[in-house]
Amino acid sequence: MHSVIRIGSRESALAVRQAEIIRDLILENTPETEVQIITMKTTGDKILDKSLEKIGGKGLFVKELDRALLEGRIDLAVHSLKDMPMEENEELPILAYGKREDPRDVLIYRKGLDRLPEHPVIGTSSRRRALQMEKLYPGCTFRGIRGNVQTRMRKLEEEGYDGTLLAAAGLKRLGMEHAAGRYFSVEEMIPAAGQGILAVQGRKGAEFGWIGKIDDPASRAAALAERQFIRVLGGGCTSPSAAHAQVRGNELKLTGLYWNERTRQHQTGILCADVSRAQQAGEELAKRLMREMQ
């Protein structure tokens, strides 16, 4: 029995809120357990003036938490699944996938705007978002923007952007839905693999009797399909490639976007499969799109 569970989290308000969601689920299932949240600043949080591609990718958001897990300073780490590297550490498996929050992307307008001007300046450091935004709003200019939700909202007002793009899940978890200007459907802007899903990571061999109760089967199937799609394409967290799986009963519908770095072209596709074949579905759709782009 684990009478005290230490959850590691990044320091941002959103990361702490996500850790609290998992803490509350643990306490709901084992009220006698004490749960502590231990925060730490990651390298990705410290370097905000460079794009993730230039400083090593989204793994910079997890390596300090990985080290704390391996050294036994924390028992679990909670991450936004979209921020985790596609290649997983066998010593630090994902033990549970939380119930998915709204997976959509959302456009936030600068104060005073209720729509974008003709040639808007959009703040985003995501190539995935920029690629799809350009199709929806031809004539956009994109400028890099980094930082947590609150930092980006401040930069939006201070640094001359007309709008910025964020994950709806983060806004909702922070109770900031009022800031949303326009929600994009998952067809208009295919989300990042894992967007809206919380990943609970632990050490290999660790056993928690309640872990199955906080693991959401639909989120797990979607995560396996989406991450395998990106993995097979050879895309990391900073790739414009995207994937989103919708689970209804035993059916999984996977939508994928493949960006070919060599030709600078992209292709989208859909594949339906039984949820028991989630990971295979991701692989099959990725291989199909690669063949079509040859």
pLDDT tens digits along 1-49: 558 999 999 988 999 999 999 999 999 999 999 999 999 976 545 444 4
pLDDT of residue 173: 96
- Of 3.30.160.40, 3.30.70.360, 1.10.357.10, 3.30.429.10, the CATH number of 216-294 is 3.30.160.40
Could you tell me the pLDDT band of residue 50, with boundaries at 50, 70 and 90? very low
Dihedral angle of Cα 164, 165, 170, 173, to the nearest 10 degrees: 70
Where in the chain does DSSP place strands (E)?
Answer: 4-10, 34-40, 76-80, 94-97, 105-109, 121-123, 141-143, 163-167, 182-183, 198-202, 242-248, 251-260, 265-274
Query: For domain 1-100+197-214, is the CATH number 3.40.190.10?
Result: yes
pLDDT for position 1: 52
Give me the pLDDT at residue 2, please: 58
pTM: 0.90
pLDDT recorded at residue 246: 98
Count other Cβ atoms within 10 Å, centred on residue 184. Answer: 19
pLDDT value, residue 47: 46
pLDDT tens-digit readout, 60-93: 568 889 999 999 999 999 999 998 989 889 999 9
105-183, CATH topology level: D-Maltodextrin-Binding Protein; domain 2 (3.40.190)
- 232 touches 225 (CB < 8 A): no
- Tokens of residue 69, six digits: 């897990």
Q: Please indicate whether the domains covering 1-100+197-214 and 105-183 agree at the CATH topology level.
A: yes
The confidence score (pLDDT) of residue 157 equals: 86
Q: Where are the domains of the chain?
A: 1-100+197-214, 105-183, 216-294
- Among residues 219, 5, 202, the alpha carbon closest in space to that of 93 is found at 202
Q: For 100-149, write each residue's pLDDT tens digit.
A: 999 999 999 999 999 999 999 999 989 999 999 999 999 999 999 878 88
pLDDT digits (tens, 9 = 90+) for 158-215: 898 999 999 999 999 999 999 999 999 999 999 999 999 999 999 999 989 999 999 9
pLDDT class for 262, splitting at 50, 70, 90?
A: confident
Mean pLDDT of the chain: 90
Which residues are catalytic, by number? 83
Q: What is the pLDDT of residue 242?
A: 96
